[in-house]
């Protein structure tokens, strides 16, 4: 539908009083420009009725002609909003008729029933978009918010192109769906799956291999198509094995959008910046520069859980909670008008964690289920969480009483926060006093967690909203310099949480070298240990580790420290949880495809699920192409 036709239709729906002057496509949504924004604040049904007729999400925008100058508008906002709201930043974007307000307590900017907002709009014409300020400062979050605002004009243009692409006329009346397995198939790393129909091509995840294996990227080359033929990239969550290639896609010529939840956009940028940084420091050429990370953020269209979104003429996606890390999603893809339904689990936790609710299973329909198999073998049964926490507390107290250091290598996003919450609970209960040093990117990541409390379990959410963020317990000491590490080593008993989680790099490796040779110390492995990683070697009982130490020399480290593996903290489902997830689906999938696991795990999970619930099942190999319907 052309813009003029859209406008006519909208005016027909809301009448002349709404003073709608322009309608503009905004990616999968529609912007409605008005000279009477207050009308829409007072008639919430008006937005709903436009949305239901156009079948798109509607954003109300103030027409630039009614906006008062920003300096004046700013004074009015500050005078009208109560001081306790804690406004930290205001940005005016005239093109969208919107003032972006960052505040500690967004609810107070909005007011009861939106009363405060109405009073503001009446005086200044600007509509207000409120963000939550993170409880702790985050450079990344601040950076992304500023970049998005700075590039508004460019994003408006991009969104129009995306809209045109989604709503282009269909080119074929044939119907089929197939899927290309381009990575993370019978192994873990470089996830990428291309879903293809006669109309469209959508890439689900675009990860890298971070284990140091030969191949870093998924096998997009074998598709033999220019990247620009891909309509959309959908990212399940921020971990680099799912998101690390996204900036590189843009560098190679991809021009379309990325769909992700808001936390996934921000955490991906954090991890991608770090990826570039780590490679550079390691004297290796990063595949892309920071410029392309920014480009990826700018091209990301965010969706929350449950928002149904058309992304091509014949595909519609909905994100659901995956329970794995902040913003992690399973993706439901609806193809055609009820032609086929696919669910990608991404990384999945269908079990208890302190941070997130277990993964959601309420999909309307599932015919093909593509599920992760990280712990898919029959004997991959994790001990109950309570036992695991008790074990960690034992290691903690025994190590501290010996005067040792406890190193907990943890992925900066996900495991680190889960461990911090667990330790915080121990400390609250028992008044422990030992310092907990938190190194590397964990601080930034935790700050981003506090900006999205609605993505966390209710009790954690409540604590963040009442200024009682568990990440700010006084015993957590965030380490921001290398020199501080010497100080920690010279000091008394202490806990150290540091990335990376499988000791493939990052501060955890430095700490490892400093503490491993003393039997007073301990190392607790709490996350997935990549095949070939130092963490995996320790897990296997290898105690002679030749490593490059500071100064660049090679030396064999003799590990005397206690090494313990605690599977129960995993952000992945164990075998029983994977089976339970399938049993909880609203319908038996006609086909289950297992991916994202070592070969025997994928194969074993596929075989057993197929037998137990009597459905077709298979563990696809890399480069398999399967027709789903
Ligand atoms: Zn993950
Ligand atoms: Zn993964």
- For ligand 2, the distance from its centroid to the CA atom of residue 224, given in whole angstroms, is 26
- For ligand 2, the distance from its centroid to the CA atom of residue 596, given in whole angstroms, is 7
145 domain-assigned: no
Single residue among 47, 65, 83 that ends a domain in this structure: 65
Q: Average of pLDDT values for 255-279? A: 96
Q: How many residues are given for the chain?
A: 629
Residues with CB under 5 A from ligand 1 (ion): 239, 347
Q: Which token pair is 548?
A: 């490059």
- For ligand 1, the distance from its centroid to the CA atom of residue 298, given in whole angstroms, is 23
- For ligand 1, the distance from its centroid to the CA atom of residue 124, given in whole angstroms, is 45
Question: Whole-angstrom Cα distance, residue 368 to residue 365?
Answer: 9
557 lies in the same domain as 483: yes
Contacts of 551 (CB under 8 A, 6+ apart): none
Which ligand is nearest to the Cα of residue 189, counting in written order? 2
pLDDT value at residue 214: 85
242 lies in the same domain as 342: yes
Output the domain CATH number for residue 25.
3.30.300.230
User: Mean pLDDT across the chain, nearest whole number?
Assistant: 95
- For ligand 1, the distance from its centroid to the CA atom of residue 45, given in whole angstroms, is 40
DSSP conformation letters of 560-610 = -SEEEE-GGG-SS--HHHHHHHHHHSSS--SEEEEESS-HHHHHHHHHHHH
Pairing of strands 405-409, 522-525: parallel
Q: Distance of alpha carbon 332 from its chain centroid, rounded?
A: 16
pLDDT at 57 exceeding the cut of 70:
yes
pLDDT value at residue 530: 86
Residue tagged 């607790």 (tokens): 524
pLDDT at 171 exceeding the cut of 90:
no
- For ligand 2, the distance from its centroid to the CA atom of residue 528, given in whole angstroms, is 9
What is the DSSP-derived secondary structure letter of residue 66? G
Judge residue 290's burial from the number of C-beta atoms within 10 Å of its C-beta, 0-12 exposed, 13-18 middle, 19 or more buried: middle
Which ligand is nearest to the Cα of residue 374, counting in written order? 2
Question: Whole-angstrom Cα distance, residue 355 to residue 452?
Answer: 12
544 lies in the same domain as 450: yes
Q: Average of pLDDT values for 455-476? A: 95
Q: How far apart are the first and last CA of the chain?
A: 30
- For ligand 1, the distance from its centroid to the CA atom of residue 347, given in whole angstroms, is 5
492 domain-assigned: yes
90 domain-assigned: yes
Residue 174 CA: distances (Å) to CA of 197, 314, 315, 391, 507: 9, 12, 14, 58, 54
274 domain-assigned: yes
pLDDT value at residue 580: 98
166 lies in the same domain as 272: yes
Single residue among 65, 83, 113 that ends a domain in this structure: 65
Residue tagged 């006329």 (tokens): 169
- For ligand 1, the distance from its centroid to the CA atom of residue 240, given in whole angstroms, is 8
pLDDT value at residue 223: 94
318 domain-assigned: yes
* Least confidently predicted of 132-136, 199-203, 232-236, 408-412: 132-136
pLDDT value at residue 210: 83
- For ligand 1, the distance from its centroid to the CA atom of residue 431, given in whole angstroms, is 33
Which band of pLDDT confidence, cut at 50, 70 and 90, is reported for residue 319? very high
Which band of pLDDT confidence, cut at 50, 70 and 90, is reported for residue 297? very high
Which ligand is nearest to the Cα of residue 413, counting in written order? 1
- For ligand 1, the distance from its centroid to the CA atom of residue 481, given in whole angstroms, is 28
543 lies in the same domain as 504: yes
- For ligand 1, the distance from its centroid to the CA atom of residue 79, given in whole angstroms, is 44
Nearest to residue 99, comparing CAs of 141, 61, 153? 61
Q: Which token pair is 226?
A: 């220019």
- For ligand 1, the distance from its centroid to the CA atom of residue 594, given in whole angstroms, is 16
- For ligand 1, the distance from its centroid to the CA atom of residue 50, given in whole angstroms, is 38
pLDDT digits (tens, 9 = 90+) for 239-260: 999 999 999 999 999 999 999 9
Q: What whole-number percentage of the chain has pLDDT above 90? A: 93
Judge residue 554's burial from the number of C-beta atoms within 10 Å of its C-beta, 0-12 exposed, 13-18 middle, 19 or more buried: exposed
Output the domain CATH number for residue 277.
3.60.15.10
- For ligand 2, the distance from its centroid to the CA atom of residue 189, given in whole angstroms, is 7
Which structural domain, as residue segments, surrounds residue 498?
Answer: 387-569
Which ligand is nearest to the Cα of residue 414, counting in written order? 1
- For ligand 1, the distance from its centroid to the CA atom of residue 219, given in whole angstroms, is 20
Question: Whole-angstrom Cα distance, residue 186 to residue 553?
Answer: 36
- For ligand 2, the distance from its centroid to the CA atom of residue 242, given in whole angstroms, is 6
Q: Average of pLDDT values for 69-84? A: 96
Q: What whole-number percentage of the chain has pLDDT above 70? A: 100
Which band of pLDDT confidence, cut at 50, 70 and 90, is reported for residue 1? low
Q: Average of pLDDT values for 484-503? A: 96
- For ligand 1, the distance from its centroid to the CA atom of residue 208, given in whole angstroms, is 12
| Three-state secondary structure readout of 78-137 | HHHCCHHHCEEEEEEEHHHCEEEEEECCHHHHHCHHHHHHHHHHHHHCCEEEEEECCCCC
- For ligand 2, the distance from its centroid to the CA atom of residue 518, given in whole angstroms, is 33
Which ligand is nearest to the Cα of residue 271, counting in written order? 1
Q: Which token pair is 625?
A: 């192409």
DSSP conformation letters of 157-196 = HHHHHHHHHHTPPP-------EEEE-SSSSSSSS--EEEE
75 lies in the same domain as 49: no
> In which region does residue 3 sit, left (phi positive, over 0), alpha (psi from -120 to 50) or beta (all else)?
alpha
Which ligand is nearest to the Cα of residue 570, counting in written order? 1
- For ligand 1, the distance from its centroid to the CA atom of residue 41, given in whole angstroms, is 40
DSSP conformation letters of 290-304 = HHHHHHHHHTEEE--
125 domain-assigned: yes
Residue tagged 């406890």 (tokens): 406
pLDDT at 30 exceeding the cut of 70:
yes
367 lies in the same domain as 467: no
Residue 96 CA: distances (Å) to CA of 23, 151, 265, 300, 544: 12, 12, 21, 18, 61
Number of domains in the chain: 4
Which ligand is nearest to the Cα of residue 349, counting in written order? 1
- For ligand 1, the distance from its centroid to the CA atom of residue 382, given in whole angstroms, is 18
**364 C-beta neighbours (distance < 10 Å), count:** 12
Q: Average of pLDDT values for 8-12? A: 94
């Amino acid at each position: 539908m052309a813009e003029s036709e859209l406008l006519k239709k909208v005016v027909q729906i809301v009448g002349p009083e709404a003073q709608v002057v322009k309608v503009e496509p905004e990616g999968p949504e529609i912007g409605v420009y008005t000279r009477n924004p207050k009308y829409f604040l007072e008639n919430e049904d008006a937005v709903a009725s436009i949305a239901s007729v156009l079948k798109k999400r509607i954003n109300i925008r103030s027409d630039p002609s009614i906006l008062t100058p920003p300096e004046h508008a700013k004074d009015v906002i500050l005078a009208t909003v109560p001081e306790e709201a804690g406004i930290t930043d205001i940005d005016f974007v005239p093109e969208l008729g919107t003032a972006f307000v960052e505040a500690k307590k967004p609810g107070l900017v909005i007011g009861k029933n939106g009363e405060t907002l109405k009073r503001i709009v009446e005086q200044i014409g600007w509509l207000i978009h409120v963000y939550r300020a993170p409880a702790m400062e985050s450079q990344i979050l601040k950076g992304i918010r500023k970049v998005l605002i700075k590039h508004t004009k460019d994003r408006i243009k991009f969104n129009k192109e995306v809209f045109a692409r989604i709503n282009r006329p269909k080119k074929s009346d044939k119907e089929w769906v197939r899927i290309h397995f381009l990575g993370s198939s019978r192994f873990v790393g470089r996830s990428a799956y291309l879903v293809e129909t006669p109309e469209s091509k959508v890439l689900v995840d675009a990860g890298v291999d971070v284990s140091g294996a030969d191949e870093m990227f998924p096998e997009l080359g074998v598709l033999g198509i220019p990247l620009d033929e891909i309509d959309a990239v959908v990212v399940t969550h921020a971990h680099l094995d799912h998101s690390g290639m996204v900036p590189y896609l843009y560098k190679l010529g991809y021009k379309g959008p990325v769909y992700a939840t808001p936390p996934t956009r921000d955490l991906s940028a954090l991890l991608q910046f770090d990826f570039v940084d780590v490679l550079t420091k390691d004297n290796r050429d990063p595949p892309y520069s920071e410029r392309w990370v920014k480009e990826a953020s700018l091209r990301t269209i965010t969706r929350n859980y449950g928002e149904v979104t058309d992304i091509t003429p014949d595909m519609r996606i909905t994100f659901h909670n995956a329970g794995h890390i902040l913003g992690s999603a399973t993706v439901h893809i609806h193809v055609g008008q009820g032609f086929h339904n696919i669910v990608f689990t991404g990384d999945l936790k269908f079990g208890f964690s302190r941070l997130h609710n277990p993964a959601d299973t309420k999909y309307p329909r599932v015919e093909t289920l593509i599920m992760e198999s990280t712990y898919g073998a029959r004997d991959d049964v994790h001990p109950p969480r309570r036992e695991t926490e008790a074990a960690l507390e034992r290691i903690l107290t025994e190590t501290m009483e010996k005067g040792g250091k406890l190193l907990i290598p943890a992925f900066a996003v996900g495991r680190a926060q889960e461990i911090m919450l667990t330790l915080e609970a121990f400390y609250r209960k028992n008044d422990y006093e030992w310092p907990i040093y938190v190194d590397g990117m964990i601080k930034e990541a935790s700050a981003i967690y506090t900006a999205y409390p609605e993505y966390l379990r209710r009790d954690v959410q409540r604590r963040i909203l009442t200024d009682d963020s568990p990440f700010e317990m006084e015993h957590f000491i965030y380490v921001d310099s290398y020199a501080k590490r010497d100080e920690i080593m010279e000091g008394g008993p202490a806990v150290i949480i540091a990335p990376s989680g499988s000791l493939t790099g990052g501060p955890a490796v430095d700490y490892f070298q400093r503490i491993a040779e003393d039997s007073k110390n301990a190392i607790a492995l709490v996350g997935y240990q990549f095949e070939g990683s130092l963490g995996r070697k320790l897990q296997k009982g290898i105690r002679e580790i030749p490593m490059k130490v500071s100064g660049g020399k090679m030396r064999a480290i003799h590990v005397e420290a206690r090494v313990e593996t605690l599977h129960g903290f995993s952000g992945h489902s164990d075998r029983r949880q994977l089976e339970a997830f399938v049993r909880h689906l609203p319908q038996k999938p006609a086909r289950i495809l297992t991916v994202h696991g070592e070969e025997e795990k994928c194969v074993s999970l596929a075989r057993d699920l197929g037998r137990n619930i009597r459905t077709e099942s298979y563990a696809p190999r890399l480069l398999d192409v399967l027709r789903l319907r």
